[in-house]
Copies of this chain bind each other. A is one copy, B any other.
Amino acid sequence: MKCLIIAAGRGSRLKHNKPKPLVKLLGVPLIERVIRTAIEAGADDFFVVVGYRAEEIENFLKELSRKLSVPIKSIRNERWSELENGYSVYLAKDYINEPFLLSMCDHIVDAEILKKLTQCRVEDGSVYLAADVRKGFEFVDIDDVTKVKLDGDVIVDIGKALKEYDAYDMGVFYCSTAIFDALGEAIREGNSSLSSAIKILGKEKRARVCPIDKGFWIDVDTEEAYKKAERHLLETLKKKTDGPISRYVNRPVSTFLSRFLVRFNITPNQITVFSFIISLVAAFLISQKSYLSLAIGGILAQLSSIVDGCDGEVARLKFLSSDYGAWLDRVLDRYSDGLIILALTVHVLHYNFSLTVVVVGFLALLGSFLVSYTAIWYDELIKRKNLKVFRIGRDLRIFLIFLACLFNIPLLILIFIAIIMNLEALRRIIVVY
C-alpha cells in the first residue's frame, strides 16, 4: 500500500529549532513515528511532500529509507508558503494511481485506527477520512481541531470554524485517486486546502468518514499537545502483567529514566546488560559479611530491578522491540535472581554456617525460579482471560530483598521467599489447571 505524507508546512506553533517533522517525540522524530505506524498498518511505499527546510528533511528520509528498508520518495513543494496543504497532496498525482493512505506528518495515530481506516472500500472513487466520534476526547484541542458535519457517513461540511459538527478530523485519509481531480478543481477555483476538495467530493457523496470511537490519536501542533502526547506514550508502557511493586514503584521511576534515555543512542540490549551488571555488583556486595555492604547491595539490587524496566520501555518507545531482546532480558534476569539469592545465602552462612540455611537458600532459589518459569504461560493466561490476580513475581521479590538488606534480616527474607515463592508456584499450578 502506498502512503502519502504531507510535511511541507512550517508548523510554527511548536517552538523548536528543528523543522517540525524532525522534532523528536520520546527519541523518535514525528515523521519517523508516522512512517513506522503506517508500516505497521500495511504501508510499504512512501511519498513525502516537503517544503519548509526541505533539504534537511530529505536527508533524514534518505537515511530512514535505508534503515527501514522501505522506499521513501521526497516530493518538493516550492510553493508551500503561498498555497495551502491541498496543493501538497495534489503534487503527488503523478506518482500515485491506486488507493493510498494520506497522513499529515504531525498526527500521531494508533496503527489500529489506520488498519480500520484502510478496510474501507474506496474502489468506487471515494475518499474516507478517519473521524473521531467521541465527544470530549481528552486529546482533542477543541479550538484548533478540524470538525466534520455528517449526513450518515457522508461529509457535508468540514472546517475548523464549524459550529455544529458530528466528529473530529483525525488527519488521516484513505483515498482513491479521485482526490486529485477534486483538488485540481478546487485549486482552479482558488481554494488550495484539502478541506475544499473534500467538500467537492462530499457533494457527490464521495467523501465519507470512517467513524473511530477508540484508540489514541493526537495532532502534535502545540507545546501542550506535544506534552500530552509524551505523557500518553509513557502511560502506555504500563503492562497488564506488572506486579504491584512494578506498577507503583518501579514503573514510575523507570519511565522517568526511559524518557531521558530515549534521547541517546543507547540500545535496549545495552540497558539489559547494564542492569545485569548492576545486579552482579549487588550480589557481590550482599555476599560480603558487613552490614554496610549488605545494605548497599540491597539498594543496588532494587536499582537494577528498576533499570531492568527501561530496556523494554526504550525498545517500545523507539520501535526497537525484538524477540531476542525480550528473551535475553528474561534469561539474564534469571541469572541475576539466582546470584542475588546465592549471595544472601552466603551472607547468612558467614554468621550461621548450618545445613538448614543452605536448604532454605536452595528452596528460595527453587521457588523464585519456578515462579519465573511458570510466568511464561501464566502471564499469557492472565492477559488472554483478563484475570485480576495479585501477581507475586520478581518485582515484589527484589523489593522485599532490598528492604530485608536495609533492615539487616537476610535469613528471614530467605525463609519468607522460600515459603511464598513455592506457594505461589503451587497456586499457579492450580490456577492454570
Chain B residues in 8 Å Cβ range of A425:
331
A286 nearest CB across to chain B (Å): 13
A337 nearest CB across to chain B (Å): 9
Q: Which of B331, B334, B346, B370 is close to A358, meaning CB atoms less than 8 Å apart?
A: B346
- Residues 169-200 of chain A, each 1 if its beta carbon lies under 8 Å from chain B, else 0: 00000000000000000000000000000000
A409 nearest CB across to chain B (Å): 20
* Contact across chains for B370 and A335 when beta carbons are under 8 A apart: yes
- How far, in angstroms, from A373 to B329 measured CA to CA in the complex? 12
* Contact across chains for B366 and A355 when beta carbons are under 8 A apart: no
A362 contacts partner chain B, Cβ-Cβ < 8 Å: yes
- How far, in angstroms, from A328 to B373 measured CA to CA in the complex? 11
Additional 13 contacts, C-beta under 8 A, given A331-B370, A331-B429: A327-B432, A328-B429, A328-B433, A331-B425, A334-B366, A334-B373, A339-B366, A345-B358, A346-B355, A346-B359, A358-B361, A362-B365, A376-B376
A381 nearest CB across to chain B (Å): 10
A41 nearest CB across to chain B (Å): 27
Identify which of A330, A335, A349, A432 gathers the most chain B CB atoms within 10 Å of its CB.
A335
Q: Which of B327, B369, B432 is close to A334, meaning CB atoms less than 8 Å apart?
A: B369
A71 contacts partner chain B, Cβ-Cβ < 8 Å: no
Q: Which of B345, B346, B353, B373 is close to A331, meaning CB atoms less than 8 Å apart?
A: B373
A267 contacts partner chain B, Cβ-Cβ < 8 Å: no
- How far, in angstroms, from A376 to B374 measured CA to CA in the complex? 11
- How far, in angstroms, from A386 to B372 measured CA to CA in the complex? 28
* Contact across chains for A358 and B365 when beta carbons are under 8 A apart: no
Q: Which of B334, B353, B366, B376 is close to A370, meaning CB atoms less than 8 Å apart?
A: B334
Known A327-B377, A353-B353, A432-B327; judge A345-B362 contact (CB<8 A). yes
A342 contacts partner chain B, Cβ-Cβ < 8 Å: yes
* Identical subunits present: 2
The 5 closest A-B pairs by CB, nearest first: A338-B366, A342-B362, A369-B369, A358-B358, A334-B373
* Contact across chains for A359 and B373 when beta carbons are under 8 A apart: no
Query: In A333-391, which residues have CB < 8 Å from any B CB?
Result: 334-335, 338-339, 342, 345-346, 349, 353, 355, 358-359, 361-363, 365-366, 369-370, 372-374, 376-377
- How far, in angstroms, from A354 to B134 measured CA to CA in the complex? 69
- How far, in angstroms, from A366 to B328 measured CA to CA in the complex? 16
- How far, in angstroms, from A339 to B328 measured CA to CA in the complex? 26
- How far, in angstroms, from A377 to B334 measured CA to CA in the complex? 15
Known A369-B334, A370-B334; judge A342-B359 contact (CB<8 A). yes
A248 contacts partner chain B, Cβ-Cβ < 8 Å: no
A–B complex contacts, Cβ < 8 Å, 30 sampled: A324-B432, A324-B433, A330-B373, A331-B370, A331-B374, A331-B429, A334-B366, A334-B369, A334-B373, A335-B366, A335-B370, A338-B369, A339-B366, A342-B362, A342-B363, A342-B366, A345-B358, A345-B362, A346-B355, A346-B359, A349-B355, A358-B358, A358-B361, A361-B362, A365-B365, A365-B366, A369-B373, A372-B373, A373-B373, A376-B376
Chain B residues in 8 Å Cβ range of A327:
377, 432
- Residues 420-433 of chain A, each 1 if its beta carbon lies under 8 Å from chain B, else 0: 00000100010011
- How far, in angstroms, from A376 to B432 measured CA to CA in the complex? 18
A364 nearest CB across to chain B (Å): 11
Identify which of A358, A429, A433 gathers the most chain B CB atoms within 10 Å of its CB.
A358
Chain B residues in 8 Å Cβ range of A433:
324, 328
Chain B residues in 8 Å Cβ range of A339:
366
